[in-house]
Amino acid sequence: MVTKMKTKHDTYTLSVAQLAYLMSEHQIYLDEAFQSNTRWATLMNQEYMRSIIEGRAITAITLGSVDEIVSVLERRYGPTHIDYKFFKDLKDQGYKYITIDGNNRDNCVASFINNEFPLALGKYEIEEGNLVEFEATNKQKYYKDLDSEVKRCIDQTILNFVVVTQSTRKGLAELFCNVNKGMTLNNQEKRNAIPCKFGQLVRDTTKKYAKGFGRIYSKIKEGNEVIDQKKINRRYPDELIVKAAVVCAHGISKGLNGNALDEAYGDGTAEVIAFNRTDKVIGQLTKLAEKFGKDAWRADGRDDSNMVDFIILLDHLNRNSVVIEDDEKFYNWFAESQLERTSSEKILYTGKKGTNVRTYAGLLRASGANFLTIREEKLIDSISQVPDDILTFRDTERNYDPKIRYILWLRQNGLCAISKEKIDARHILNGQVTHVDHYDPHRHGGETSLENARLVFKQANLEKGAALQKVSKELPT
């Protein structure tokens, strides 16, 4: 499917009053894909209004003409094209324009006219007609309180606009990045500029769990924990969500490099389809952060990698119906076990030539699938060391301690007790692959105990049924 075409545009002007009207009538769609995560505070709004009044707001606001883009897309690609559907939906909602660059400026003008913030106190050079300057005072600083001649001058001030008349969503994303080349956009900010369903899911999730992310991305200032707003604004939480989505959709098979994260963005990607699992994992992560802070993920100073490990572990537990019964104990256990792993001098990877020597701490510094595979194996192995009463395996009939499965696996030398085939470690907790079975069937009075338990492949167990086991016993004489 074609997703790119030449971008075309025209230049226009609008007055402040016209822009405020379009905003008030909800005719300009403020797409968060093209929104810096930094929302202007009062001071920044006041500075922009001063630049408008004094004639220095000459940088054009960039909009897309919804009607014209819809028309071009329909002619070029037809009404089934995904980009046509996106813009047609905006048109059906009554939007005439989509903001590509200038969301904060649009909001600033509308908010000032709506009396949501005042002008900064002081004199303003206006030089319109007989009016050379005016002074904003405590009594005359909100738009509604200004002299009628001052309001007329502000209303008629001309703003410059670039209006895109032909483009796809990808083209608009690239335009946004080009317009902002003066700013150094990080990779996640560039991904955010791709208008698609996945991007909106990520942004919504960031907002949904804002309190927890506020503790994850925090810093100490004057002895108090405060939100590190710079990291929030630069979309650090968003990137963590994207990594979680890749893990939940693909496991660790794709790795977590830039390409894997980029490929998550779209309307029907695997990450979109599996996003309910991502939401659950992020909810668990931020819940623990909100309650206990971020210290459990600080081993070896690799906060982000430690959180990725935690996400891999949570996703494994969720996929295998393992429930965390005690949040605080589980949080503390992970902190301790991760410190042990990162402090170990044991070599876990050497590379094909034997020169890329890495301990667990070294593995945390890479995001390739081969490194993540080793990390996942160690994390799964560590489940056997979780203290009692923290985790419970739940199926539709009975509850099991997950450690029992690992103990049985070790006792059986990693083999299915029925078929004698090898059980991979990743399948120990997977109830779709393996079962905890009774030697003496449960329905025939067999006890639910470690002595009467064995780990078997699900298929072998179903074929066995609940038949009584033959045992070798001597007849009494």
* pLDDT, tens only, 49-77: 999 999 999 999 999 999 999 999 999 99
> What is residue 130's predicted lDDT score, i.e. its pLDDT?
81
> What is residue 3's predicted lDDT score, i.e. its pLDDT?
59
pLDDT at 1 over 60: no
pTM of the model: 0.75
Question: 3-class SS at 335?
Answer: helix
* pLDDT, tens only, 332-359: 999 999 999 999 999 999 988 889 999 9
> What is residue 397's predicted lDDT score, i.e. its pLDDT?
47
Question: 3-class SS at 98?
Answer: strand
Q: How far apart are CA 464 and CA 417, in angstroms?
A: 11
Q: Summarize the confidence of residues 316-338 as an average pLDDT.
A: 92
The C-alpha angle with vertex 462 and arms to 457 and 465, in degrees rounded to 5, equals 125
pLDDT band at 439 (very low <50, low <70, confident <90, very high): confident
The long-range contacts involving 176-182, CB below 8 angstroms and separated by at least 24 positions, are 176/33, 176/34, 176/100, 176/101, 179/62, 179/100, 179/101, 180/101
List the single range of 53-57, 311-315, 422-426, 427-431 with lowest mean pLDDT.
Answer: 427-431
Question: 3-class SS at 401?
Answer: coil
Q: Are 79 and 39 in contact (CB under 8 A)?
A: no
Q: Put the strands of the sheet holding 391-394 in their side by side order.
A: 322-324, 391-394, 399-400
Q: Read off the amino acid at residue 32.
A: E
- State the Rg of the chain over Cα: 30
pLDDT at 401 over 70: no
For the chain, the 3-state helix, strand and coil shares in percent, each to the nearest 5, are 50, 15, 35
* pLDDT, tens only, 86-120: 999 999 999 999 999 888 999 999 999 999 999 99
Q: How far apart are CA 270 and CA 201, in angstroms?
A: 13
> What is residue 433's predicted lDDT score, i.e. its pLDDT?
86
